[in-house]
Every structure is written in structure tokens, then in C-alpha cells.
Structure 1
Amino acid sequence: MFKILLICALVACAAASDAVEELRSDDIRADGFATALKVSNSIDRAESGDIHGNIDGHFSWVSPEGVHVVVKYVANENGYQPSSDLLPTPPPIPAEIQRSLEWIAAHGQKA
């Protein structure tokens, strides 16, 4: 869902500007890669990776409401891990559950 939203936002931003200038750099090496893309309408993307499949990167754009959206991510053996101020966060753990977890941690489990 988020990827579809991102693609739609990027296409909409690109379509909104008649004259879009692009600055791109790619560096492919034996031990990994680095790539970057900057577009004159505030779209920005960069990522780098190594031969083990670890990738660090970010992408950003300015929404139609004028909000600068930035998403940073890591992709590795633990999967795709995005982070952004605009991504939802999990709800807090209820106090009763937290107390139970603390009690279990303090007393352990009986054999």
C-alpha cells in the first residue's frame, strides 16, 4: 500500500512540473553500489548497498500541501525497515500488560 502511494506521489510530482531537471549519479563497484537522484521539483532519492545485500537509503518529496516528506530505510537480513515522522507508530502497551511483563521478567517462569 505504502509503495503504491509513493509511486503515485512521485508520478504526480513529476507530472505537475513541465520542465523537470534531473541530476543522477550511479557508482557500481565490486564491493557494492551507490546511487542518487535529485529532481528539480524536490524529489530526492539515494541509496547504497554492499555485496551482502545490506542497503541504506532515503527518499523524499514535497507533498501538494507543502509538507517535506522524508523516509529513511534499511534493508537487510531483517527485512525492509522504513522510518519517518509520517509513518504510524504502534500503540502504547497497556499498563496492565506492562506490569505483567515486568513481573514475569522479575520472577521468571517455574520449571
Structure 2
Amino acid sequence: MESVILLLFIMGLTFAQNPGQEIKILKQESDISPDGSYQWSYETENKIQAQETGQLKPGSPEPILEAQGSFSYVADDGTPISVQYVANELGFQPQGEHLPTPPPIPPAIQRALKYIEANPQVKIEERFKGQ
């Protein structure tokens, strides 16, 4: 499902860059195997490229679809954008230099997390027992 949404998003980029202008597809390939695995790719004349492969993994109660792929295009300001992704039971996991990343965890918080991990919490009632 994520793959279809992503494909529609990328195709939308093609039309949004030049409304009303026809953008030619230079290359397009797709293949679906009897085992449920697939692959597709395309490239347009305005430098949009996308590709994806997917396969079914054993899961409970049903098999799980795992897809891996990438897409790239040139943003309106001329910046090249490139995204690689995996989509599976953990959700859509994109990676790209232009995507924001969280700031590093402060050292004091890292120490606190290590302390919590090393010292399982005692129930509040036990901590204040006898006071």
C-alpha cells in the first residue's frame, strides 16, 4: 500500500513541476513474479527516477510485504533530492540527506538512561516503606 502511495506522490511531482506540460517517460520497467515478488522502475525527461523491489516475508497470521526502493528528482530551487527507503511491518523508513534528523541525546540524559537500564525501577511503595 505504501508503495502505491509513494508512486502516486512521485508521479504527482512530475505533473506539479510543469502544470499542463507533457513530461515524457524515457524508461519504464515492471515485473511481477508468481511468488508475489515484484520490481518496477521508471525515468522521466525532467530527471525524476524511481525504482522499487518487493517480496513477501513469512508473517503471522499473514505474510508481510517488504519493499525497498529509491526515488530522486530536482527540487524547484535546483537542489537534487534523493531518498532511499524500506517499507515493511515497521512502517515507511526513508533516508535522505535533506531529511531532518533529531539532535543528539545530551550526555546527562544518556547517563540517566544507562542508570535506569542498569537499575530496574523499584515500586514507589517499596522505596518509601518505613518512612
Taking structure 1 as the reference length, what is the TM-score of the superposition?
0.79
> Whole-Å Cα distance in 2 between the matches of residues 18 and 25 of structure 1?
20
1:31-61 Cα offsets, whole Å, 9 max, x none, are 2100001011110010010133010011110
* Closer/same/farther in 2, CA of residues 83 and 18 from structure 1, 3 Å limit: same
Percent pairwise identity: 34
Q: Any gaps of 5 or more consecutive residues in structure 1?
A: none
Task: Report the equivalent of 2:53.
Answer: 48
2:71 to 34, 59, 62: 59
> Whole-Å Cα distance in 1 between the matches of residues 122 and 84 of structure 2?
43
The answer to whether structure 1 residue 78 and structure 2 residue 90 are counterparts is yes
- Amino acid paired to 1:66: G
Please tell me whether the aligned partners of residues 31 and 39 of structure 2 are also in contact (alpha carbons under 8 angstroms). yes
Further displaced range: 51-60 or 99-108: 99-108
Q: Any gaps of 5 or more consecutive residues in structure 2?
A: 1-5, 58-64, 124-131
> Whole-Å Cα distance in 2 between the matches of residues 77 and 104 of structure 1?
29
Question: How much has 1:65 moved relative to structure 2?
Answer: 1.9
Question: How much has 1:109 moved relative to structure 2?
Answer: 4.2
Larger Cα-atom Rg: 2
Task: Report the equivalent of 1:100.
Answer: 112
CA RMSD between the two structures = 2.7
Task: Report the equivalent of 1:25.
Answer: 29
- Amino acid paired to 2:112: S
Question: How much has 1:28 moved relative to structure 2?
Answer: 1.0
Task: Report the equivalent of 1:10.
Answer: 14
Equivalent residue pairs, number: 109
Secondary structure of residue in 1 paired with 2:46: coil
* Closer/same/farther in 2, CA of residues 59 and 65 from structure 1, 3 Å limit: same
Secondary structure of residue in 2 paired with 1:51: strand
Secondary structure of residue in 2 paired with 1:54: strand
